[in-house]
């Protein structure tokens, strides 16, 4: 299905900084077309000012990281270790494997040059000498288009030595992943890039101090880097002042929001912050399909907490979703309808997380399969009294600070929230397995 961009025909670089070039083109793949749409104007502006001025513009704009965590890109950049004459790297995290998330794919397949221009400007700002686009292996078309774009830019002095006659040189490579979700975690990604097993590393040191091959490295998500050229073109104040939809919002800029599940019009839309989940589902995704009622929704990926119909008037923004008890994550809503049974649904998600554990730390390696085992028993009519309490115990034991990285805590978010909001569905299956009389006897003990 082709995603929709809202006011597609009238979009400009000032109104839709991420996707405006798609107003009249399904994709912008060649240099000539890109240049006819203000392509590389921002790079020229950046190269005519100091790296620090460029960095400060992005810092003042406050671009919250779009990979899921929301850490401001400008602050991340300013934490780079000072130059010492050795290599420094910029890595684009294009390992988009979060279930239900398909925003970076669109940006790379249709606007590869905009990502590369963003990377060139970012690399100039942080003094990076080489860059890597670490892309999910299944994104074959995106990888081909990025590779072709880099080749065309090399032939036109826009990638390589002394770009546009300046002192700035930057090599750029596309590196395809081999299908591990954990590579979305930046230090696992760096290990993989180095040819090692993709286990996360201890932080600190953060990659800005000791990243790829031990050198200062910045890792930014595709959508984050896609914002950079428009901010350099129009300034940080313009970015800060971009119109907001109604509602209290803390985040400047626009975002690719999306929706999947049994809605009438699943897709992606570049929107200002401030829309509620209800507005995204009803006004942009066309509402639930006929005969379907919304039961729950995940705000942005499988590693976020379920919310329910009661939370639909929450603005989809980092802080507001957190106050509602979840995380915005990638901002692509996954809608669950009343006919879906939560036990097999959560079991399915937990199978994914157990399979994708790198196996490095014991709680994650052993805890996630244990959770799947209990969920499978409950789902297969072999549940026992106390199983839900065991699952709850697991959500405490696999929480932040008790595991090596955010993978297991992320896996616990949908499990914990499914139990919180839909516990009767778990209890009912257990009661069917052991018999109502056993449940009653246990309750009377």
Lookup result for tokens 């800005």: 208
* Binding letters toward ligand L3W, positions 277-316, x by CB under 6 A: --------------------------x-------------
By CB under 6 A, residue 69 contacts ligand L3W? yes
By CB under 6 A, residue 152 contacts ligand L3W? no
Pick the piece of the chain touching ligand L3W (CB under 6 A) from 89-97, 314-322, 362-370, 374-382.
89-97
Q: Taking the complex as a whole, how short is the minimal distance between the CB of residue 236 and ligand L3W, in angstroms?
A: 20
Q: Taking the complex as a whole, how short is the minimal distance between the CB of residue 116 and ligand L3W, in angstroms?
A: 17
Pick the piece of the chain touching ligand L3W (CB under 6 A) from 38-46, 87-95, 152-160, 282-290.
87-95
Which of residues 97 and 391 has its CB atom nearest to ligand L3W in the complex?
Answer: 97
- Residues numbered 328 to 387 that lie near ligand L3W (CB under 6 A) are 329
**Contact pick of 39, 51, 67, 100 for ligand L3W (by CB under 6 A):** 67
**Contact pick of 193, 219, 232, 411 for ligand L3W (by CB under 6 A):** 219
Pick the piece of the chain touching ligand L3W (CB under 6 A) from 179-187, 227-235, 266-274, 283-291.
179-187
Take residue 318 and report the two structure tokens written for it.
């980092």
By CB under 6 A, residue 206 contacts ligand L3W? yes
Q: Taking the complex as a whole, how short is the minimal distance between the CB of residue 210 and ligand L3W, in angstroms?
A: 12
- Residues numbered 220 to 249 that lie near ligand L3W (CB under 6 A) are 221
Instruction: Classify the phi-psi angles of 214: left when phi > 0, otherwise alpha if psi is within -120 to 50, otherwise beta.
Output: left
By CB under 6 A, residue 118 contacts ligand L3W? no
Total chain residues near ligand L3W (CB under 6 A): 24
Pick the piece of the chain touching ligand L3W (CB under 6 A) from 18-26, 159-167, 181-189, 437-445.
181-189
**Contact pick of 11, 22, 95, 280 for ligand L3W (by CB under 6 A):** 95
Which of residues 220 and 379 has its CB atom nearest to ligand L3W in the complex?
Answer: 220
> How far is Cα 289 from Cα 247, in angstroms, rounded to an integer?
27
Distance of CA 274 to the CA centre of its chain: 19
| CA proximity to 297, closest of 313, 319, 275 | 313
Please write down the HEC assignment for all residues of the chain: CCCCCCCHHHCCCCCCCCCHHHCCCCCCCCHHHHHHCCCCHHHHHHHCCCHHHHHHHHHHHCCECCCCCCCEHHHHHHCCCCCCCCCCEEEEEECCCCCCCCHHHHHHHHCHHHHHHHHHHHHHHHCCCEEEEEECCCCHHHHHHHHHHHHHHHHCCCCECCHHHCCCCEEEEEEECCCCHHHHCHHHHHHHHCCCCCCCCCCCCCCCCCCHHHCCEEEEEHHHHHCHHHHHHHCHHHHHHCCCCCCCCCCCCEEEEEEECCECCCEEEEEECCCEHHHHHHHHCCCECCCCCEEEEECCCCCCCCEEHHHCCCECCHHHHHHCCCCCCCCEEEEEECCCCHHHHHHHHHHHHHHHCCCCCHHHHHHHHHHHHHHHHHHCCCCCCCHHHHHHHHHHHCCCCCCCCCHHHHHHHHHHHHHHHHHHHHHHHHHHHHCHHHHHHHHHC
By CB under 6 A, residue 81 contacts ligand L3W? no
By CB under 6 A, residue 326 contacts ligand L3W? no
Q: Taking the complex as a whole, how short is the minimal distance between the CB of residue 444 and ligand L3W, in angstroms?
A: 42
By CB under 6 A, residue 96 contacts ligand L3W? yes
Pick the piece of the chain touching ligand L3W (CB under 6 A) from 22-30, 184-192, 371-379, 382-390.
184-192
**Contact pick of 12, 71, 179, 442 for ligand L3W (by CB under 6 A):** 71
By CB under 6 A, residue 62 contacts ligand L3W? no
Pick the piece of the chain touching ligand L3W (CB under 6 A) from 201-209, 346-354, 390-398, 420-428.
201-209
Residue numbers of the site for ligand L3W (CB under 6 A)?
A: 65, 67-69, 71, 76, 79, 93-96, 104, 184-186, 206-208, 219, 221, 303, 329, 406, 410
């Amino acid at each position: 299905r082709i995603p929709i961009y809202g006011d597609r025909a009238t979009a400009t670089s000032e109104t839709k900084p991420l996707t405006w070039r798609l107003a009249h083109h399904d994709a912008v793949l060649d240099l000539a077309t890109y240049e006819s749409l203000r392509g590389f104007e921002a790079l020229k502006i950046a190269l005519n000012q100091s790296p620090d001025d460029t960095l400060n513009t992005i810092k003042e704009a406050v671009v919250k990281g779009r990979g899921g965590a929301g850490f401001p890109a400008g602050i991340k950049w300013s934490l780079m270790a000072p130059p010492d004459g050795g290599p420094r790297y910029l890595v684009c995290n294009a390992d988009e494997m979060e279930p239900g998330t398909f925003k970076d794919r669109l940006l790379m397949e249709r606007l590869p040059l905009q990502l590369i221009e963003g990377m060139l400007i970012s690399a100039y700002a942080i003094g990076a000498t080489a860059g890597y686009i670490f892309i999910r292996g299944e994104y074959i078309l995106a990888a081909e288009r990025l590779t072709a774009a880099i080749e065309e830019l090399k032939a036109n002095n826009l990638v390589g030595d002394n770009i546009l006659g300046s002192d700035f040189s930057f090599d750029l490579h596309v590196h395809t992943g081999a299908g591990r979700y954990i590579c979305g975690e930046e230090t696992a990604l760096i290990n993989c890039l180095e040819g090692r097993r993709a286990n996360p590393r201890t932080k600190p040191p953060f990659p800005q101090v000791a990243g790829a091959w031990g050198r200062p490295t910045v890792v930014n998500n595709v959508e984050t880097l896609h914002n950079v050229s428009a901010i350099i073109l129009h300034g940080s104040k313009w970015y800060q002042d971009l119109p907001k939809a109604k509602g209290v919002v803390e985040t400047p800029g626009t975002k690719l929001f999306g929706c999947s599940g049994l809605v009438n019009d699943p897709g992606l839309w570049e929107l200002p912050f401030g829309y509620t989940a209800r507005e995204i589902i009803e006004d942009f995704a066309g509402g639930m399909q006929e005969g379907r009622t919304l039961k729950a929704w995940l705000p942005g990926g499988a590693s976020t907490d379920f919310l329910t119909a009661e939370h639909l008037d929450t603005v989809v923004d980092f802080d507001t979703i957190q106050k509602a008890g979840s995380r915005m994550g990638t901002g692509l809503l996954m809608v669950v309808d009343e006919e879906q049974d939560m036990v097999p649904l959560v079991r399915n998600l937990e199978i994914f997380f157990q399979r994708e554990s790198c196996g490095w730390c014991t709680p994650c390696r052993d805890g996630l399969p244990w959770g799947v085992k209990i969920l499978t028993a409950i789902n297969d009519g072999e549940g026992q009294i106390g199983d839900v309490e065991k699952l709850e115990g697991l959500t405490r034991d696999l929480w932040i600070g008790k595991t090596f990285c955010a993978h297991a805590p992320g896996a616990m978010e949908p499990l914990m929230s499914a139990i919180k909001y839909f516990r009767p569905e778990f209890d009912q299956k257990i009661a069917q397995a052991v018999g109502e009389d056993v449940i009653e006897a246990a309750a009377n003990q």
